[in-house]
């Protein structure tokens, strides 16, 4: 018995903000040296991102009109974790519901046997899973699993759990919901380069996926194989921790080099069990953790940039939304599948704290 992805839904907050506007927010409201201003502008321009979305209006507003940040010089007193989590609790549910409604359409919510929620940008209890059950009219006895604080690769773990559920239980129907409000965790200590990198990359978004043991749609994607690897030497190069003023990201400039070092071994291990080669892959779904990461993967796999169009498009239009991002990329591929794509293979990749490398192979059914 296998497990099949049969539907996608994605959602974005209403505030669409250009990279130029976000850079302007930093340069206008923080007391930066001329050297730091120049460095910040260079990082933002080189990001490969045109726009991102946020639940916060402030990134498009002028001092005096802020609703979340203080209308004061240097944004003091800077919002603490409690204030950020209050916004998360309200906005994460609304965004998740938008994604789910797109995903399930007119399907009866009572048909779902399992619910998996994924997030690393906010926590509360009873949590998002509880609120989704109430808001969607899911069964009160639905089996719930929460995957928290794993970062950009977390959707892979949700898909693995869903696959195990569907493989073990005939008739299972799993709803996965990933939501991240990264813009709530803007940090202003730009003396550290990784803080500037994080501020330049991350946006807000949500994605939902249905996984079934008996596919009801064409096309669908069967989950053929997964493989994970850890590059322990990169443990400190990508981290995610809770500070006094929001969640704090460490994102060093060495991450692309670490990904480059481990990517071939990761993919060879994934494909070995299925007796496949990279040349057997028709579509690539690569998490756009950053422009440089996409470039080094293309170099290592020997694939043209054109094969990675979905990832570049998501990066350009939405930035890195952490866990939902790979589902945005997969949805882009899914919506363009045609009859001749039957049996074609899709390679998925994502990366996160650890340094964790995740891979999966999907087949169009």
Q: Catalytic residue among 120, 152, 166, 228, which?
A: 152
Instruction: Output helix, strand, coil percentages for the chain, rounded to the nearest 5.
Output: 45, 25, 30
Q: Can you read off the two tokens belonging to residue 174?
A: 């799993």
Longest Cα separation, the chain? 62
Q: Can you read off the two tokens belonging to residue 246?
A: 């929001």
365 is catalytic: no
Residue pair 19/44 in contact (Cβ under 8 Å)? The answer is yes
How far is the C-alpha of 235 from the C-alpha of 142, rounded, in Å? Answer: 36
How far is the C-alpha of 200 from the C-alpha of 183, rounded, in Å? Answer: 10
How far is the C-alpha of 9 from the C-alpha of 96, rounded, in Å? Answer: 10
Distances, alpha carbon 360 to alpha carbons 201, 313, 352, 355, in Å: 24, 21, 15, 17
Contacts of 141 (CB under 8 A, 6+ apart): none
Residue pair 145/127 in contact (Cβ under 8 Å)? The answer is no
Contacts of 309 (CB under 8 A, 6+ apart): none
Query: Which residue, among 251, 253, 274, 270, has the nearest Cα to 262 in the 3D structure?
Result: 270
DSSP H stretches of helix in the chain: 19-29, 34-45, 81-104, 128-136, 154-168, 193-201, 255-272, 291-301, 309-318, 325-334
Q: Can you read off the two tokens belonging to residue 205?
A: 């978004």
How far is the C-alpha of 10 from the C-alpha of 207, rounded, in Å? Answer: 4
Number of Cβ atoms within 10 Å of the Cβ of 94 = 14
How far is the C-alpha of 357 from the C-alpha of 354, rounded, in Å? Answer: 8
Cite the active site residues. Answer: 152
């Amino acid at each position: 018995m296998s497990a099949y992805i049969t539907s996608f839904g994605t959602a974005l907050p209403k505030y669409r903000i250009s990279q130029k506007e976000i850079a302007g927010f930093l340069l206008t409201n923080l007391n930066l040296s001329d050297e730091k201003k120049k460095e910040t502008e260079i990082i933002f321009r080189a990001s490969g991102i045109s726009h991102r979305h946020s639940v916060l209006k402030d990134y498009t507003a002028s001092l005096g009109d802020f609703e979340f940040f203080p209308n004061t010089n240097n944004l003091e007193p800077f919002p603490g974790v409690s204030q950020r989590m209050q916004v998360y609790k309200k906005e994460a549910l609304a965004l998740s519901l938008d994604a789910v409604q797109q995903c399930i359409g007119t399907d009866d919510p009572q048909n779902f046997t399992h619910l998996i929620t994924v997030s690393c940008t906010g926590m509360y209890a009873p949590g998002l899973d509880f609120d989704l059950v109430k808001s969607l009219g899911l069964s009160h006895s639905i089996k719930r699993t929460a995957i928290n604080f794993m970062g950009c690769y977390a959707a892979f773990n949700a898909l693995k759990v869903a696959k195990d559920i569907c493989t073990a239980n005939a008739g299972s129907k799993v709803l996965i919901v990933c939501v991240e409000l990264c813009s709530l965790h803007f940090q202003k200590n730009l003396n550290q380069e990784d803080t500037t990198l994080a501020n330049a990359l991350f946006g807000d978004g949500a994605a939902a996926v249905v996984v079934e043991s008996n596919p009801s749609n064409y096309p669908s994607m069967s989950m053929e194989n997964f493989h994970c690897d850890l590059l322990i030497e990169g443990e400190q190069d990508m981290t995610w921790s809770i500070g006094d003023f929001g969640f704090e990201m460490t994102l060093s400039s060495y991450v692309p080099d670490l990904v480059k070092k481990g990517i071939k071994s990761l993919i060879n291990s994934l494909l070995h069990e299925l007796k496949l080669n990279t040349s057997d892959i028709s579509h690539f779904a690569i998490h756009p953790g950053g422009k440089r990461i996409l470039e080094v993967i293309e170099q290592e796999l020997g694939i043209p940039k054109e094969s990675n169009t979905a990832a570049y498009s998501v990066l350009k239009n939405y930035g890195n939304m952490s866990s939902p991002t790979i589902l945005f990329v997969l949805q882009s591929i899914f919506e363009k599948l045609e009859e001749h794509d039957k049996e074609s293979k899709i390679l998925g990749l994502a990366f996160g704290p650890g340094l964790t490398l995740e891979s999966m192979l999907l087949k169009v059914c």
